A and B are shown apart, each in its own frame.
Chain A
Amino acid sequence: MSLSRRVVLFLDSISGSRNGRIAAYAIGVLFFLVIVFVPPVFGILLGGSKIFEMLSNPDLLNRGGSAIAASFAIAVTVSLMDLAAGLPMAWFIVRSRSGWASTIDTLANIPFIVPTVALGYSVLAFWGSSQGIGYLLGSQFLFSPGWQMIVLLHFAFSYPVIVRVMVGALQGYKEVYETAARTLGASAFTAVRTVSLPLLKPALVAGFLLAFARSLSETGATVMVAGVFENGPVFIQNARAAGQESPLLFVSLVLIVTSSLFFIAIRIFAPKMRLPISTVWPRLEKRLSSTSAMTSRNLLVFLVFALFVIVPSLFVVLPGAGAVVDGTLQEAISAQGIWSNYWQSMGLSYLIALVATGLNVVAGLPMSVLIARKRGGRAISGILDTLINIPIVVPSIALGVSIGIFWGGATGISEFWLLVLAHASITYTYFVRSMIAAVESIPVEVEDVARTLGAKPLMIFRRLTIPLSKYALVAGAIMAFTRSIDETGATLAVAKNLTTAPVLMVNWVTGKVPASSHAIGLGLGILVLTSFASLLVLTIATRRT
């Protein structure tokens, strides 16, 4: 018998013992608590009395208060806009028999692939420069940086989140309920409103929360387009730049608490909330179901999609193309001037993403099984299931501030590892949620049968759970990885000397490091291309295995 097989058999037999299983789950839970959950959420409290010094400064308090309020107002507005525009789009993608459906489906993913900082610059260039919308419609249509541009930016990057969630939900939804409603005399609109939407409510809530969290959390691109306007993350970033410690801590603390409470409140109250279905307006709804109404609705949705999502997302291509002609590309390749830092940052970003994702995969797997199979009992699994979402709901820059304080006290942790820990914490949820859903979709009987055939828990995990959830595992890892590459908020808060690629781009765009618009376009373009290429490589690699 080969050595490796002996090791596997030995580990299998350990997993058969109660202690072995407890150890595996304990590692998962400990990692979650010590690395992912406690430092970003409670680390801030180590700031002590400094946090509350800000309370004695009414001016700062006022500014901080309106910044936080602006964050929530923008996040709610953007998420509702997403639902209004994304829902009919998802419907079109899933239900339409037109050949365009799959093309649009692919296009809707573009803002996903484009790192948010690139999107930020792209939006800025499209809506705010004389080469963009101003060129097309005359310069009076220019937007200047401010809250309107933040809304435009957040709409663009959170739109695909809603579309993705709703497409997934609709594909799993049995159309027969709608058909039954239609044969009972309901118009298409009525059937969707009173039957389908209530049944799809969990997905609507999930999509809303995800879009909301993304908007609340985004920092790097928001800083680019904010101008003098401040929302929560921009306020924290400005306070950091100005070296004002108390406002930094205080606003971070308030954001952590309010966003966590908001999330928990939605988790508790959304299932109890009912959509209004007891009234039907047959004539009006029948008119809304007519072919012409549907066509004009679709046209409107496409227009919004093109003008507010796709074109602004891709506009970064223009300055990038300029760089190819004017010699900037040459400079970049030979790593001259600002470009030597650029390549270093790029390497750093990928290394951090790789290590953080690896940690999350190893520690997240036992946690996913624990939650999906309710191994710790219904109550504990339910609590953990809620807690794992907190890191993506809380603005990442606030998490970063908290993480910095938590680990800052511990000497011997290098800045690199501090960044890895911060990224692990922020991307953990993406991986674990994907795995939980996959494990839940494996019928319990499959595992039951394997057990009665004599398989120890680790063998079941190796031979059944992992192969059967392979796609979710890869998808979750990719999501965590790209989120890490994209991360700016926590990185800005934690880093002192190291600069990751997206943070460097923020510095270029905001003028902290002087760079020409062609250089910015090229820098972001390379970031887009590499992240796209790494996605492609991962996808192909996993198809073969």
Chain B
Amino acid sequence: MPTIKLVDVTKVFGRIKSIDRVSLQIAEGEYVCVLGPTGAGKTTLLRLIAGLETATSGRIELDGHDVTNIRAEDRNASYVPQQYALFPHMTIRDNVAFGPLARGFTSQQSLETAGEMLKLVRLAHRATAFPHELSGGMQQRVALARGLAGRSPLLLLDEPLGAIDARLRVILRYELRKLAKGLGVTVIHVTHDQQEAMSIADRIAVLRDGAIQQFGRPSEIYGAPKSPFLANFVGGANFLEGVVVREARETTMIDIAEGFSITSSHDSHDMGDSVVASFRQEGTLILTNASLEENVVPGRLVSTSFLGSYMRCVVNLGRVGEVVAKVPVHEALERKLPDRAGELVYVRADRNRIMIFDRPEKPLAVELEAF
């Protein structure tokens, strides 16, 4: 039985539709990330599930019970907001004991539970400290312990790692998942960081303009995005607009510009369709010599920059436009790839890796915007 089920949930604030007919099911113990650009409605979705906002229409079920009109305090879904909202006048221990107390446990039982939870997040030694005495990472763990102490089976995390510096954030995200899996709680984790979502989620729901764009495993969303927006927002990609000019089994040929067409092994579209061909930046190859293979096109290097383990090369393909290739740094060095602007290179994309989308109604640039 799914623990969370949303059916056509819509939330309207004044004239703004913040959540637009969202339906999804989340299974018990699942770790789900809600991923989306700023203003997509992620926090609102979380608050709807927590009971802090009431849906304008639609239904929310927890454990098979309709909770659409049940108040937050009676839902048993712990909410951890972005800045944690630790109670500033209480010690760490009292903060964590608050949930059990609120649910009617005696103060002794509550304090015992708090002690266990603090041990779990390795903060038992700071039990008598006040929130402002702890570092950001510690505060985050206290907020988690507090959310878990009431034995709530559902944890709703709003950008739980947003206030933590970049390096620690990467470590903490795995800890977060481990903790949740160890306790068997269901987690909905809101984030705008696609790497964070990809690395820890069982499934990702990508939200845009209040609507779910795709809900699936990270590999599904990366490997088979349903729209150019998804391909761009999750993973990043190159996009070329064109028209299908030849269509056969496992071969689609797309005219991009005069004298240049590319071939994909996907065959989802028909002759004459306006489409967008897309290939991942990390699947884009840079060649130094001309080649007679398909999908090779000459261009001029515009810029190169280091991104840690990748070299990011921007290449101008003339009328076709610009594409980006991410080449592993060691490979770029071994192959002595050119790195000066203006040098001639050849760009190649494998036919198996070229995805084809319907051309969106909006201009492509608008479709790809992630804010």
Inter-chain residue pair count (beta carbon < 8 A): 75
CB < 8 Å neighbour of B102 from A443, A455, A467, A468: A455
| Cα distance A224–B1 in the bound complex, in angstroms | 81
**Total interface residues in chain B, CB < 8 Å:** 32
| Cα distance A396–B72 in the bound complex, in angstroms | 45
Say whether A453 contacts B98, CB under 8 Å. yes
Measured between beta carbons, the chain B residues less than 8 angstroms from A9 are 104
Say whether B79 contacts A468, CB under 8 Å. no
Return the CB mask of B76-119 against A: 1 if under 8 Å, else 0: 11111111010111000000001100111010000000000000
Q: Which stretch, A432-440, A444-452, A479-487, touches the partner chain B?
A: A444-452
Q: How far is the CB of A465 from chain B (nearest CB, A)?
A: 11
Residue B178 at the chain A interface, CB threshold 8 Å: no
Say whether B98 contacts A455, CB under 8 Å. yes
Measured between beta carbons, the chain B residues less than 8 angstroms from A456 are 73, 102
| Cα distance A1–B76 in the bound complex, in angstroms | 24
**Smallest Cβ-Cβ distance to A451: which chain B residue:** B72
Say whether B89 contacts A451, CB under 8 Å. no
Say whether A451 contacts B71, CB under 8 Å. yes
Q: How far is the CB of B5 from chain A (nearest CB, A)?
A: 19
Say whether A467 contacts B89, CB under 8 Å. yes
If A464-B87, A467-B89, A468-B89 touch, whether A451 touches B99 (CB-CB below 8 Å) is no
Q: How far is the CB of B96 from chain A (nearest CB, A)?
A: 10
Say whether A452 contacts B104, CB under 8 Å. no
| Cα distance A455–B87 in the bound complex, in angstroms | 13
Residue B150 at the chain A interface, CB threshold 8 Å: yes
Say whether A452 contacts B52, CB under 8 Å. yes
Say whether A459 contacts B104, CB under 8 Å. no
Say whether A452 contacts B75, CB under 8 Å. yes
Residue B165 at the chain A interface, CB threshold 8 Å: no
Say whether B102 contacts A449, CB under 8 Å. no
Measured between beta carbons, the chain B residues less than 8 angstroms from A457 are 73
Residue A99 at the chain B interface, CB threshold 8 Å: no
Q: How far is the CB of B63 from chain A (nearest CB, A)?
A: 16
**Smallest Cβ-Cβ distance to B143: which chain A residue:** A449
| Cα distance A292–B359 in the bound complex, in angstroms | 70
Measured between beta carbons, the chain A residues less than 8 angstroms from B82 are 445
Q: How far is the CB of A85 from chain B (nearest CB, A)?
A: 37
Say whether B52 contacts A459, CB under 8 Å. no
Say whether B51 contacts A463, CB under 8 Å. no
**Smallest Cβ-Cβ distance to B82: which chain A residue:** A445
If A1-B106, A9-B104, A459-B102 touch, whether A451 touches B51 (CB-CB below 8 Å) is yes
Residue B74 at the chain A interface, CB threshold 8 Å: yes
Say whether A448 contacts B85, CB under 8 Å. yes
Measured between beta carbons, the chain B residues less than 8 angstroms from A408 are none
Say whether A449 contacts B81, CB under 8 Å. yes
> What class of interface size applies to chain A in its complex with B?
20 to 34
Residue B55 at the chain A interface, CB threshold 8 Å: no
Most buried by B among A1, A16, A457, A463: A463
CB < 8 Å neighbour of B52 from A16, A448, A463, A468: A448
Residue A454 at the chain B interface, CB threshold 8 Å: yes
| Cα distance A463–B87 in the bound complex, in angstroms | 10
Residue B11 at the chain A interface, CB threshold 8 Å: no
**Smallest Cβ-Cβ distance to B72: which chain A residue:** A451
| Cα distance A83–B103 in the bound complex, in angstroms | 53
| Cα distance A96–B322 in the bound complex, in angstroms | 58
Q: How far is the CB of A451 from chain B (nearest CB, A)?
A: 4
**Smallest Cβ-Cβ distance to A15: which chain B residue:** B73
Measured between beta carbons, the chain A residues less than 8 angstroms from B102 are 450, 453-456, 459
CB < 8 Å neighbour of A450 from B51, B76, B98: B98
Measured between beta carbons, the chain B residues less than 8 angstroms from A449 are 79-81, 85, 146
**Smallest Cβ-Cβ distance to B88: which chain A residue:** A468
A interface SS class: helix
| Cα distance A454–B50 in the bound complex, in angstroms | 11
Say whether B85 contacts A454, CB under 8 Å. no
Most buried by B among A449, A456, A468: A449
If A454-B102, A455-B102 touch, whether A445 touches B83 (CB-CB below 8 Å) is yes
Q: How far is the CB of A193 from chain B (nearest CB, A)?
A: 35
CB < 8 Å neighbour of B73 from A16, A443, A463: A16
Say whether B106 contacts A448, CB under 8 Å. no
CB < 8 Å neighbour of B78 from A445, A452, A463, A464: A452
| Cα distance A463–B99 in the bound complex, in angstroms | 12
Q: How far is the CB of A473 from chain B (nearest CB, A)?
A: 13
If A452-B75, A452-B79 touch, whether A443 touches B99 (CB-CB below 8 Å) is no
Measured between beta carbons, the chain B residues less than 8 angstroms from A463 are 87, 98
Return the CB mask of A411-443 against B: 1 if under 8 Å, else 0: 000000000000000000000000000000001
If A16-B73, A16-B74, A463-B98 touch, whether A452 touches B85 (CB-CB below 8 Å) is no
| Cα distance A463–B104 in the bound complex, in angstroms | 14
| Cα distance A443–B81 in the bound complex, in angstroms | 11
Say whether A452 contacts B50, CB under 8 Å. yes
| Cα distance A448–B88 in the bound complex, in angstroms | 15
Q: How far is the CB of A56 from chain B (nearest CB, A)?
A: 55
Residues of chain A in range 217-232 having any CB-CB distance to chain B below 8 Å: none
Measured between beta carbons, the chain B residues less than 8 angstroms from A16 are 71, 73-74
| Cα distance A1–B106 in the bound complex, in angstroms | 8
Measured between beta carbons, the chain A residues less than 8 angstroms from B80 are 449
Measured between beta carbons, the chain B residues less than 8 angstroms from A464 are 87
| Cα distance A463–B88 in the bound complex, in angstroms | 12
Q: How far is the CB of A24 from chain B (nearest CB, A)?
A: 16
Measured between beta carbons, the chain B residues less than 8 angstroms from A452 are 50-52, 72-73, 75, 77-79, 152, 156
If A16-B74, A448-B72 touch, whether A454 touches B150 (CB-CB below 8 Å) is yes
Q: How far is the CB of A528 from chain B (nearest CB, A)?
A: 35
Return the CB mask of B55-77 against A: 1 if under 8 Å, else 0: 00000000000000001111111
| Cα distance A451–B152 in the bound complex, in angstroms | 13
**Smallest Cβ-Cβ distance to B83: which chain A residue:** A445
Most buried by B among A452, A456, A457, A463: A452
| Cα distance A16–B102 in the bound complex, in angstroms | 12
| Cα distance A467–B51 in the bound complex, in angstroms | 25
Measured between beta carbons, the chain A residues less than 8 angstroms from B77 are 452
| Cα distance A449–B146 in the bound complex, in angstroms | 10
**Smallest Cβ-Cβ distance to B50: which chain A residue:** A452
| Cα distance A443–B83 in the bound complex, in angstroms | 10
Return the CB mask of B24-57 against A: 1 if under 8 Å, else 0: 0000000000000000000000010011100000
Say whether B83 contacts A454, CB under 8 Å. no
Return the CB mask of B128-169 against A: 1 if under 8 Å, else 0: 000000000000000000110010100010000000000000
Measured between beta carbons, the chain B residues less than 8 angstroms from A453 are 73, 78, 98-99, 102-103, 146-147, 150, 152
If A451-B51, A453-B99, A455-B102 touch, whether A446 touches B79 (CB-CB below 8 Å) is no
Measured between beta carbons, the chain A residues less than 8 angstroms from B152 are 452-453
| Cα distance A449–B77 in the bound complex, in angstroms | 10
| Cα distance A446–B99 in the bound complex, in angstroms | 13
Measured between beta carbons, the chain B residues less than 8 angstroms from A451 are 51-52, 71-73
Most buried by A among B75, B82, B98, B104: B98
| Cα distance A464–B102 in the bound complex, in angstroms | 12
Q: How far is the CB of B281 from chain A (nearest CB, A)?
A: 38
| Cα distance A464–B81 in the bound complex, in angstroms | 17
| Cα distance A206–B89 in the bound complex, in angstroms | 30
**Smallest Cβ-Cβ distance to B155: which chain A residue:** A452
If A448-B72, A463-B98, A468-B88 touch, whether A454 touches B52 (CB-CB below 8 Å) is no
**19 contacts across the A-B interface (CB closer than 8 A):** A9-B104, A448-B50, A449-B79, A451-B72, A451-B73, A452-B72, A452-B75, A452-B78, A453-B78, A453-B98, A453-B146, A453-B147, A453-B150, A454-B73, A454-B74, A455-B73, A455-B98, A455-B102, A456-B73
Known: A443-B85, A445-B85, A453-B73. 11 other contacts (CB 8 A): A16-B73, A443-B83, A445-B83, A446-B87, A448-B85, A450-B98, A452-B50, A452-B73, A452-B78, A453-B152, A463-B98
Q: Which 3 A-B pairs have the closest CB atoms?
A: A453-B99, A445-B85, A455-B102
Chain B residues with a Cβ under 8 A of chain A:
47, 50-52, 71-83, 85, 87-89, 98-99, 102-104, 106, 146-147, 150, 152, 156
